[in-house]
Amino acid sequence: MKLPSFEPFKTKMVEPIYRSTREEREVWIKDAHFNLFNLRSDYVTIDLLTDSGTGAMSDRQWAALMQGDESYAGASSYYNLKDAIKEITGFNYFLPTHQGRAAENVLFSVLVKEGDLVPGNSHFDTTKGHIEFRKAEAVDCTIDIAYDFKARHPFKGNVDLNKLEEVLKKNPREKISCIIVTITNNTAGGQPVSMANLKGVRQLADRYGVKFILDSARFAENAWFIKTREEGYANREIREIVLEMFSYADGMTMSSKKDAIVNMGGFIGFRDEDLFQKASMFNIIFEGFITYGGMSGRDMNALARGLYEGTDFEYLSSRIRQVGLLGARMKDYGIPVLEPFGGHAIFIDALDFLRSVPKEEFPAQILAVEIYIEGGIRGTEIGTLMADRDPVTRENRFTGRELVRLAVPRRVYSDNHMDYVAAVAKNVFDRKESIKRGLRIIKEAPILRHFTVELEKL
Ligand code: F0G
């Protein structure tokens, strides 16, 4: 018989999970003002808030930590990381940063100015935050089919090249900071972008003379989807695919907390020395000297190692299979989930799940709260709360998308945990008719409000 596949690692250290009661959780979530970010993590049974910085490092990465060189300038750890970035991404120049949004802050300090446009595929919220903070505009050029949750498309994260060209054609070149393509497209449901699409974006970038940057947090998962879904790539190695993806871009921002499987870290990769030089000044102001920028030597060592482990085909297959297992279980229970399943997370369609909660009452947030109360699972809202208010009108932005994201940390949970999560969601699904009202905001920040917002039940 064909042998089943299995995770290419075994467990050396474990961490206990506290099993709380429903009564405890009802009190805790009320005290947290119905914002799951305000919960203490020991009040959470299975934490699917994010796959960012929550992965388990390997024994090799922990060993690399011990060899960290903490010199202020020119540390060997910096050169280890430089070599790994060159080998994995092909970029000659890089700047370390403490995480992905710091990479955005440094790079956008050079590229983005007031009144600019930054076209791309559903920019991540910190990316959009950094653009709007500079009074520029993130223009979403994602393909329309991405917003049809049931539509089958192998690369639902793609950029609509016609929409992108319209933006480039209608506006002077100086007004376009750069094009940003996010791989995989987190906001659209962890959906991949095809190689053909990246090539198409490169051609438009060349035709209109603008820079093309990859927001690369989940670049390895994107490469896995290209290998398994795109014609001509089945026999190519993940690392070859990764090199080709990056070959189309002028630079990259990286949140290393995702596909490089470290708990903290980021970097910017550059093809061009000039842009690297300009960004270096901002790196020194915001992050630290250019050979450590926000990272300790040991962390750079662990990251260098993580770039190799995160691009291993067997590892990626087991990870994406596990996310798919969670999706398949929930689908079997009749729960409306976004398909095809994403690389790092399963997204529940809250508008379909909770049909009587009005859109003004944050249906995805109340669903996330109910799932927490039911079984201690922490997911996140990707809906009106996260979409923030329109910067000009200050009205809520209703994007038509009300999702609960269940993001799976790397190498942390077992398939049994996934079965538990699906069963909890099913129990909420069975009592969905009883959930008729949502939440009301009592306190919010002007930007990125979902992190700190306080709500009350209606
Ligand atoms: N880009 C993408 C596509 C992301 O998903 C994230 C973070 C960032 C940039 C920012 O990176 O957190 O290291 O500063 N996403 C996390 C998430 C927070 O839960 O999806 P960071």
DSSP-derived secondary structure letter, 328: H
Within 175-312, residue ranges assigned H as helices are 195-208, 219-229, 238-247, 273-286, 297-309
Asked whether the predicted pLDDT for residue 392 surpasses 90, the reply is no
- If you take atom 15 of ligand 1, which residue's CA is the nearest one? 52
Q: Check if 52 has its Cβ closer than 6 Å to any atom of ligand 1.
A: yes
Lowest-confidence range among 19-33, 240-254, 384-398? 384-398
Instruction: Ligand 1, residue 344: give the atom nearest the CA.
Output: 20
Asked whether the predicted pLDDT for residue 179 surpasses 90, the reply is yes
Question: Cα separation of 381 and 365, whole Å?
Answer: 5
Strand partners, 96: 267
Each residue's pLDDT tens digit, 113-171: 999 999 999 999 899 999 999 999 999 999 999 989 889 999 999 999 999 999 999 99
Asked whether the predicted pLDDT for residue 398 surpasses 90, the reply is no
Mutate which of 97, 105, 126, 142 for ligand 1? The one with the most ligand atoms within 8 Å of its CB, which is 126
Q: Check if 45 has its Cβ closer than 6 Å to any atom of ligand 1.
A: no
Each residue's pLDDT tens digit, 188-215: 899 999 999 999 999 999 999 999 999 9
Instruction: Ligand 1, residue 256: give the atom nearest the CA.
Output: 13
Distances (CA, A) of 206 to 95, 178, 210, 337: 25, 12, 7, 38
Question: Cα separation of 451 and 175, whole Å?
Answer: 31
Query: What does the pLDDT average to over 405-434?
Result: 98
Active site residues: 72, 124-125, 215, 217, 258, 450
Q: Check if 266 has its Cβ closer than 6 Å to any atom of ligand 1.
A: yes
Task: Give the global pTM.
Answer: 0.96
Q: Check if 101 has its Cβ closer than 6 Å to any atom of ligand 1.
A: yes
Asked whether the predicted pLDDT for residue 447 surpasses 90, the reply is no
Q: What pLDDT does 147 receive?
A: 87
Q: How far is the CA of 388 from the centre of ligand 1 (A)?
A: 16
Q: Where are the beta strands (DSSP E) in 67-199?
A: 93-97, 117-120, 137-140, 179-182
Q: What pLDDT does 400 receive?
A: 84
- Cα 217-319-197 angle, rounded to 5 deg: 45
Beta strands 377-378 and 46-47 are parallel
Residue 68 token pair: 């960290």
Q: Check if 99 has its Cβ closer than 6 Å to any atom of ligand 1.
A: yes
Q: Check if 124 has its Cβ closer than 6 Å to any atom of ligand 1.
A: yes
What are the φ/ψ torsions at residue 420 (nearest 5 degrees)? -60, -45
Each residue's pLDDT tens digit, 245-270: 999 999 999 999 999 999 999 999 99
Q: How far is the CA of 305 from the centre of ligand 1 (A)?
A: 20
Q: How far is the CA of 235 from the centre of ligand 1 (A)?
A: 30
* Site of tokens 């100086």: 174
Each residue's pLDDT tens digit, 288-314: 999 999 999 999 999 999 999 999 999
- 370 class by beta-carbon count within 10 Å (0-12 exposed, 13-18 middle, 19+ buried): buried
Each residue's pLDDT tens digit, 222-236: 999 999 999 999 999
Asked whether the predicted pLDDT for residue 364 surpasses 90, the reply is yes
Spell out the domains of the chain, with CATH numbers in brackets: 22-51+312-457 (3.90.1150.10), 59-309 (3.40.640.10)
Confidence of residue 345 (pLDDT cuts 50, 70, 90): very high
Q: How far is the CA of 3 from the centre of ligand 1 (A)?
A: 36
Q: How far is the CA of 233 from the centre of ligand 1 (A)?
A: 27
Mean pLDDT of the chain: 96
Q: What pLDDT does 62 receive?
A: 98
Q: Check if 97 has its Cβ closer than 6 Å to any atom of ligand 1.
A: no
Question: Cα separation of 234 and 224, whole Å?
Answer: 10
Confidence of residue 56 (pLDDT cuts 50, 70, 90): very high
Each residue's pLDDT tens digit, 59-111: 999 999 999 999 999 999 999 999 999 999 999 999 999 999 999 999 999 99
Q: Check if 215 has its Cβ closer than 6 Å to any atom of ligand 1.
A: yes
Question: Cα separation of 267 and 85, whole Å?
Answer: 9
Instruction: Ligand 1, residue 51: give the atom nearest the CA.
Output: 19
